[in-house]
Structure 1
Amino acid sequence: MNENSLATPRNPSTGLLRRLCDLPPAQYDAAENWVSYGNRTPRATRPASSVVLIRDSPKGVETYLGYRPGGSPLGSVAFPGGSLEDDDEREIPWYGPSLSEWSKRLGILDQRVVRAHIVCAIRELFEETGVLLAGTDELSVVENCDSEDWMAVREAVAVQDKSLEDVLRKRGLGLRTDLLRPLSHWISPNFALRRFDTRYFAAALPVRQEPSLLRGKGIWAAWKVAAEVIEQRNTTSLGDEVGAPDTKGLSLSKITTPAVEVILEKIASTRGTVAYLSVRRELKSYHPELVQVGGEFYLDVTTATAAEGGGLGRGR
């Protein structure tokens, strides 16, 4: 996006900021068809969950980003996550807030859907990174999940040969749902060919666990200092590091979604992991809209300003 296209306050008194984010090249055709053919019936969304894994470092708070091939609605470079599966609604060993409390936090009345979003978040995090938010009681967390046996379990869960419930019950474990913090709710733009209705959560990296790529599926993932990613977002450094055809030579907005960029901004402005997780947030919903400015397509989204949401900057 050029220097004249900056995020500007839509309503300063409410602390809201209008942002215009670059559209990833892979979405150009869908955007053009949406406008040219007058298609105004959005495709159905699939419910999804994503986990923002964070840890402290000398350079600032780091988060774990990975490459997602195939034009994922979560972004080509994004946080661990994916769509809900049927098994995610099954009852499962559970520590932490009750379903009733989680229902209030997420603003979802159907507790089966609430359970599915939380189970999906923990399952996808485990599949994609090996980090498991589970323990034998409400105070413990499983350790050292990087063995060959655990990798085999991740592979089995990923292809649905095993359910997360089966894995936990066999080992006497329950989900540590208290380690999750709800962040925000994002719905994919109407023109998109694949659309998610995504609940974002945050979690600190548990002690004596370390993320790793899923064997045979993972292509690239790394801990990245959020402040550095935001500082360099107008460059191609992250896209070039990933090195995929749909990331090389592209800036941050063109390889991810507004959701990821906004969350990275907020992490970049925090004082540390504890501070970030301790913030009491009003769970907000966001639905980026396709707009044309000067013949170019952008995603239009309104977010909180720095005072409201923690250091938001230009939507570029």
Structure 2
Amino acid sequence: MVRRLFDLPPHQIATAENWFSFGSRTPRTPRRASSVCLVRDSSHGVETYLTYRPGGSPLGNVAFPGGSHETSDRATYQWFGPSLSQWSKRMDLLDQQLVQAYLVCAIRELFEETGILLAGTDEQSVVEMTDAEDWMTAREAIAGQDLAFDEFLRRRGLGLRTDLLRPVSHWLNPNFALRRFDTWYFTATVPNRQEASLLRGKGKWGRWSAAGDILAKRGTSELGDSIGQPNTVNLTLSEISYPAVEMILEAMAEANGVIAYLSRARSLNLKHPDLLVRDGIYYLEVLGSISAESSRPWQTTAGH
């Protein structure tokens, strides 16, 4: 059993102090969430798309695109890729409606936050971004809940390409947190003729970065300083992100290219950081394998 310690982000210290001072209480009920780690090859190794998340997000102030489930995630969708029963087995979740919600949420949030859409007219095609303004308008409407994601896809004759997703990790926020997410992390590549961009009027910072480069400077404030937000400046990677982000970055940095990363065998056991205080300093403790990922092969089979 490997034990990892991560610095606690400054905005969580007061909550941690209260948790210890008043004794353990019933943890707040977590919301379901999904996140997608986009990957691509570069001369510096595997790159991923990180975004700034305001408001002290439980997923980290700097994290992968993602967010919480919505009612429309359980609607009826045209579906390409592994069936829900296959996904249910892979994720070890018996509730297939919940499995669908995790997958749809991942694809929807990715589209809202980056404009990358994992959808097509059949199991061999992926939609192309032919009109950037049209897509941005649709993203704004979906994010503002003025347009349901299922209706958006239906109008365009599109189905979800769930075979383009790979599950990589499953995390539950620590018990002391005021906002908690039960989050599934997935990974995907950017389809041809699509390009990641921030949501107009909402996104503050987003960038492709080599995982290895970020980790090489994780003890410095370089990333936080480049983002330039009040809750990122002068802070290290651990202080502006979340253990899930850092450990997934480690797996990316270890991989010899995107193909190797996507095909990596993974153990998807739930990771649940615990609060630890040592010499008056608070840490998040994570038990398990060294990496956030590591043991059963993933197979894709067409069908619903």
Residue aligned with 1:20, SS: strand
Alpha carbons 1:130, 1:146 under 8 Å: kept: no
Shift of 1:108: 0.8
1:8-52: CA deviation from partner (whole Å, max 9, x where unpaired): xxxxxxxx3211100000000100000001142111100000000
1:58 maps to 43
Aligned counterparts of 1:250 and 1:224: Cα–Cα separation in 2: 18
Contact 1:130 1:145 survives alignment (8 Å): no
Which residue number in structure 1 is paired with residue 267 of structure 2? Answer: 282
Shift of 1:282: 2.3
Work out which of the residue numbers 127, 130, 135 in structure 1 matches 2:120.
135
Answering whether residue 76 of structure 2 is matched by residue 91 of structure 1, we say yes
CA deviation digits over 1:126-156, x for unaligned, max 9? 0000000001110111112661111000000
> Is 1:106 the counterpart of 2:106 in the alignment?
no
Candidates 202, 219, 222, aligned match of 1:237: 222
Aligned partner letter, 2:116 = V
Q: Pick from 287, 295, 301: which aligns with 2:280?
A: 295
1:246 corresponds to which residue?
Answer: 231
Q: How far apart are the structure 2 equivalents of 1:153 and 1:210?
A: 15
**Partner of 1:82: helix, strand, or coil?**
strand
The equivalent residue for 2:192 is: 207
Q: Which residue of 2 aligns with 1:67?
A: 52
Distance (Å, rounded) in 2 between the aligned partners of 1:40 and 1:227? 39
Q: CA deviation at 1:172?
A: 0.9
The residue aligned with 1:36 is 21
Distance 1:161 1:48 in 2: 20
Looking at structure 2, the residues matched to 300 and 234 of structure 1 have their Cα atoms a distance apart, in angstroms, of 18
Question: Which TM-score applies when normalising by structure 1?
Answer: 0.91
Per-residue deviation, 1:246: 0.4
Which one-letter code corresponds to 1:188 in the other structure?
Answer: N
**Residue 273 of structure 1 aligns with which residue?**
258
Q: For 1:127 and 1:305, how far apart are their aligned partners in 2? A: 32
> Structure 1 vs Structure 2: percent identity of aligned residues?
61
TM-score, structure 2 length as denominator?
0.95
Q: 2:137 aligns with which of 149, 152, 155?
A: 152
Structure 1 residue 196 corresponds to structure 2 residue 181: yes
Q: Distance in 1 between matches of 2:266 and 2:101?
A: 22
Number of residue pairs matched by the alignment: 294
Match in the other structure for 2:300: none
Offset at 1:280? 2.5
Partners of 2:90 and 2:25 in 1: how far apart? 32
Change in Cα spacing, 1:77 to 1:145, as seen in structure 2 (3 Å) is farther
Which secondary structure state, in structure 2, belongs to the residue aligned with residue 214 of structure 1?
Answer: coil
Is structure 2 residue 155 aligned with structure 1 residue 170?
A: yes
Q: Distance in 2 between matches of 1:234 and 1:303?
A: 23
In structure 2, what is the equivalent of residue 257 of structure 1? Answer: 242
* Unpaired runs of at least 5, structure 1: 1-15, 311-316
C-alpha displacement at 1:305, in angstroms? 3.0
Cα root mean square deviation, aligned? 1.3
- Partner amino acid, structure 2, of 1:248: V
CA contact (8 A) 1:99 1:115 kept: yes
The one-letter code sitting in structure 2 at the alignment partner of 1:61 is V
